[in-house]
Structure 1
Amino acid sequence: MPLQTARTRKFMTQSIRPLCRCFPALTLAAVLGATLTSSAIAQETAPSRSNVVAVVNADPITRKTLSDQSIQRYGTEVIDNMINRHLIMQACQHNGIEVSKQEVTDEIRRLSAKFGLSMESYLQLLKEERNIDPNQYSREIIWPMLALRRLVADQVEVTQEEFNRSFVAQYGEAAKCRLIMCDNEAKANKLHAQAAADPDKFASLAKQFSEDEASASVGGLIPPIRRHSGDTRLEEVAFGLKDGEVSQVLQLGDQWILLQAVRRIPASSPSPQALPAIREQITDRIRDEKMRSAATELFSKLQQEANVIKVLGNEELEQQYPGAGAIINGEQITLALVGEECIKRHGEEVLEGEINRKLLTQALRQMNKQVTDADLHAEISRAAVSYGIVNPDGTPDTEAWMEQVLSTGEVTRGVYMADSVWPSVALTKLVEDDMVLTDADMKEGFEAAYGPRVEVLACVLSDQRSAQKIWEMARDNPTDDFFGRLASQYSVEPVSSGNMGKVPPIRKHGGQPSVEKEAFALKAGELSGIIATGGKYIILRCQGFTEPVVTDPAAVQGELVRDLTERKMRRLMAERIEDLREKAEIDNFLAASKETPRVAEARQ
C-alpha cells in the first residue's frame, strides 16, 4: 500500500519536533511517559511484572536484576525525565484534568486523516520513519499535547484579529522586491547613492556587491514580502515604495539593506469551498504557536515552584530515603518505578548485556577460571598504553586514562568496569589457551603490513551487464587516462569515481581474497577480468607494484608480534562469544513480549 512518506515526514518535522520545544532543556522522550487518568497513575506506581525476564542455559535473569542494571546505566537520565513527567501529572490532577483513551485515539485518527492514511498505516509509518511505536506515540506525544492544551486552554484561544492577521500574511497583497545586503553602513550608503542615481542598475549592483548570496545570483530578487509575516519595519518600507523606487538604507541586526520595489502582487481570494480547511489550518498553526509559548512558561513555573528532592545518585539522600528515586511536592517516585521506566526505554539493550555476562560467567565456571582484581587492573593498564596514556617513564597512567574515559559524564566507573573491562578480561581468559601465533600467522602478517602492494585503477559496477560493457571499452582502449575517465563516469564506488579510478594500493591478506588474487596476478598495464564480490563487479587496471619498506621480518619482530597478537586475540574473542550464543539455550521473555505491538493503547 503506497504511503505518502514525504508529506508525513514533513508533518513529523512540523508537529513532533515543535512539541519538543515546549519542554525547556528536555528531549521528547523526557516529556511524559504519562498515563491518561488518575487511576492509571496510581496503578503505574505499583507495577506488576513477571519476575523472570530471561533464562540462559536454565539460569534465570530476574526483572529485579534487569531493573538494577538499567538504573545503574540510565537511572540518572530517566529520573530527570520522570520528575518533569510527575510535575505535569500533578498539574493535571490539581486542575481536575483527565485525557481519556478515546480522546487520544481520536486525535491520532484526526492527524492520520490529514494525510489520507488510516490510523494503522500512520502509526506503522511512524514506527518505520521515526522509530516511535504506537504506545510511545500515544503516551509521550499525543497525551502531553492534549494535556498541555487543557492546562493552558485559557491562553491559547485564537482571536478573530489573530486569524485575520495570519490570513493576510498568507493570502494578502505582497510586495515583490530586490535586495542589496551589506555588512557595513559605509558600503551600503555608497551603493544606495549609485542605485538612487540610476535605479535600472539595482539588479546589476545586487549581483556584484550584495552579500546575500541566495538573492545576489538573481539580481537581488527575494520572495514576496507580505504584511504580518516578519519584521514590521521591513514590511513598512516595502509597501511604502512605488514600482522601481529605491529605499533608504535600513539596518536589520548587524546588516544594512536596500530594497527596490519591483511590483505589487494582488491579494488572492480562496474559493468558498476551501475556506473551512484554510481556517482550520491557520487556527491550528496559531494555537500551536501560542501553546508552545504558554507551555514553556508553564513548565518554567512548575519547576520553579516545585519542591523536588532528587534522591537517586546522592548517597546521603539514598540512605535517608530508602527505596525512593525522587520526591516531588511530597509525592515519591519509587526506585521500582524508575527501574520499570528504564526497562521500558532501555531494557532490551541492557538485557542483551546481562545475557552475555551470564554466558561468560557460565563458561568461566566450566573452565575453572575466574576474573580477579589484578586482571581488571591489568586490562585498564593495557587500554591506557594502547591509547598512548602513559607516564614519562613509559608506564601506563591508569588514573589519567580513567579520567579520560569518565570525562564525558556518559558512563560511570562502575558501568565502565562492568560493560567494558570485565567482559574483555573474561573473554581473554576463555581464549588465552588457544592464542598461538604460528609461522603462517607471522608470514601473512608481515606480508600484509610490509610486503609489496599493487597500485591499480579500479571501476566498480553494480551489475554484470554494465561491467561487461565497461570491460570491453577498457580492453579496446588500453590507456590509464581512458580507464580513469570510465571510472569517473561509471564507477558506483565514490573513491574510484572521484579520483579517476585511483584507489589505495592493494595488499595481501587484507580481507578481499578474490580481489587480491586477481591484482597480484597482473603486470603493469594489464587489465583484470571482471571480479564478482560482495554483490559488486570490479575491473582493475594494474599500474605496477610498490617496493617493500621493510624486507627483514626480524627488524620488526616485536611490533609485528604485538599487533598480530592483539588482532588474533580480538578475532578469537568475537568467535567465542558468538559460539557461546549459538550453542546456548536462551529464552528472552522481554523481547518476545514486544514482538506484537499494541496500537495506540492508552495505558502504558
Structure 2
Amino acid sequence: MKISKRAITIIFGILAAAFAIGTIFLFTPQGNPQQEGRPILYVNGQPINELELMRKAQTNPLFTLNPTGVLRPLIDTYFLEQVITLEALRQDAARIRVSSSEVKQQVDQLRERLGVTDREGYDRFLQSIGYTDSQLRDEIRTQLRIQKRIDELRKKVKLTDEEARFYYELHKGEYAAEDRVKARQIVLDDQATADQVYKQLIGGADFAELARQYSKVGAEQGGAVGAEPGSSEPGPVTRLVFPTPVADAVFQLKSGGMTEVIETGGRYYIVKVEEFLPGGDVPYEEVADRVKSDALSVKQNGAVENYIREVRDRAVVKFTEEQIPYEYKNPDVAKVGDKTIKLADVIQVVFSDQQVPQLIQQGLGELAVSFFFPAATDQLITEELLLQQAEASGEPFIGTRAQKAQDVQLWKTKDVTVTPDEVRAYYEENPARFSIPASATVKTVSFKDKETADKFREKLIAGDPLEELAKGLGGQVSDLGTVNPGSGLPPVVEQLVFATDADYARAGDWGVSEVVELPGQDNQKTYMVVLVKDKKAEVKKPFEAVKAEAEQLALAAKRAKLAAEWIDQLKQQAGVENNIVDVLGSLAPKTEEPATQQAPDQGAPETPAPAEAQPAGEGAN
C-alpha cells in the first residue's frame, strides 16, 4: 500500500523516489545571499529569498500556464504552501546523518540514469540546471536526510493485535477465498477434432486418457489443471486460469460435471470439473500475517501524513511587509464543529487532481475553480465529520485521514445484508456488469483514392490474397485484432462493426464492407475497406453463473447508499458552515491586477533572521 496522493504531492515525491525526477530538484541551490535578492518570507526564522522562489516557480508546471484572475492567488498559495512545507521538512531533518559515500552513490546513479557519465556531459548538465557540483551534492544530502527521517518514522510504528483484528473485520472481503475448482481440460485447435473428442467423452471415454492423446495443453498430466510438476492430480484453481467464456461455464458446475465444447480465442475447450470448492470468509488466524503486513503499512502511512501536517503546523511563517510578487490567501472556508478547514487545504486537494491543469491549459480555469473547489470543500467537510465519528467510536481506526474516513463508513455499515430479491434486482438493473461484450476480429485497409479502394474490394471478394493484393495496390493494412465496443476503435469502424446490421460481402472467412470515405488532413480524403470475422453479439451471463458476484456488488451498493445517507444526517446535525463560494468571490479581481501585490498581513521579524547554524552532531562527510 502507498502513502496517500495528497501526502506525496505535498513533499514532491520524496517518499516515492527522490531522484527519479531527473533534472527537477526539490530545493534550490543556496548561493551568495547578496545575489539571491531580498527575503520574501521566513520559515522558522530562515529566509526564503526572491530569486530562490523564482527558480522554484520556473519548475512549477502550474505557473507555465500563466494563470490570471482568481486562479492567480490560488496557484500562488498552492506554490508557497509547498515551499513552506518543504523548508520545514528540511529543517526538521537537518540533524540526520548522511555520509559522503551515500551522496556519491546517488550522484553516480543520477549521472548514469541521465547518460552523463563523462565529465564534460556532467558539467553541461550542471550548467543547464544552474547548479555547481557542490550545490548538487548538498541538495542530494538534504533529500537523503528527509528520506531517512521518513524511514526512521515508519520503523518506529508498532501495530497492536487489536488494531490488526479490527482492520481485518473491516476489510474481511479482501481476504476472502474465491470459488475454486479441481478440474481437467482438453484444449484443441480445430472444431472437428473437438467435436470428435466430445462425442467420445459423452460415450464414457476416460477424460484423462483423451487429454493425454489430444490436448494441446497439459497432455502429459492428463489435462490436470493446477497440477504440481510431475503430478497428474488437479490442484485448486480460480477463474483466472481459464479464458472468460470457459470460466463462466466451468464455475456454473457447482456439483461437478463437464462443459460442452467452448470456442474462444481460436481454440476449443472441454473442461471436466471434478470438485467445486466454494469461496467465502477465511478465519483471521489463516491470514493473520497478510493482515498484519497490510495494516502496519496503513498505520505507517498515517504516521507519515501526521508528521508532515505537524511539521507544517509548527512552522512559524512570516512574510515581509514589502510588496511581493505573490499572493498568499488562506482564510477559513468551512467549519465543522470546532474544526476549521482552510483554503490551503482545499487548494491542495484541487491542484492534486490532474484534470485541473489540463482544464486551465484549455482556457477553462474559471470553470475548474467553480466546479472543483466546492466539490473539494465538501469532500474535506465529509472527511472531518467522519474523522470525528471515528474518534467518538472508541474503535482502533488506523491510517491516513482518508483511510479512516473510508473505514468508519465500513464500520457503520458492517452489519448490512441484502435479500435474494435485492440481489436479483441489482442483476436486472445493471446488465452491463454481467454481460460478455460483443466482439469481432477486425482489419482495415486504407487507400488514397476511391477507385483503387473499389478495385481492391472487388478483387478481394473474387479471391485474391488479402496481404499481397493490398501491398500491390498501395493499401495500408491495419490489424486491429479482437475488439469490443468502446475499446478505442475509430468511430466509423465501430459504427460499421457493432452499430449497424450491414450485409457484408464474403472473402473467405472475412466479411468485407463497402468502401467508406473518411475525412483527412488538408482536405485529403482516405478510403477504407473494413474486414470483419468472428463477430459475436453481447451475451448476458445467466443469473446463477454470476449470483455470488451480483450479491457482492449489490451489498457494496447498498452499503454505499446507506453511508451517504448517514453522512447527510451528520452534516445536518453538525450545522456545517461552508463559505467557499464567498471566499472565491472575494478573490476574484475587481479591477486589473497590479504587477505586484501586498504581502499577507503578517509582520516580518523585527531583526534580520540569523544565518542557519550547522546541525549539531553532523559527522564528517
| TM value normalised by structure 1 | 0.28
Name the structure with the higher helix share.
1
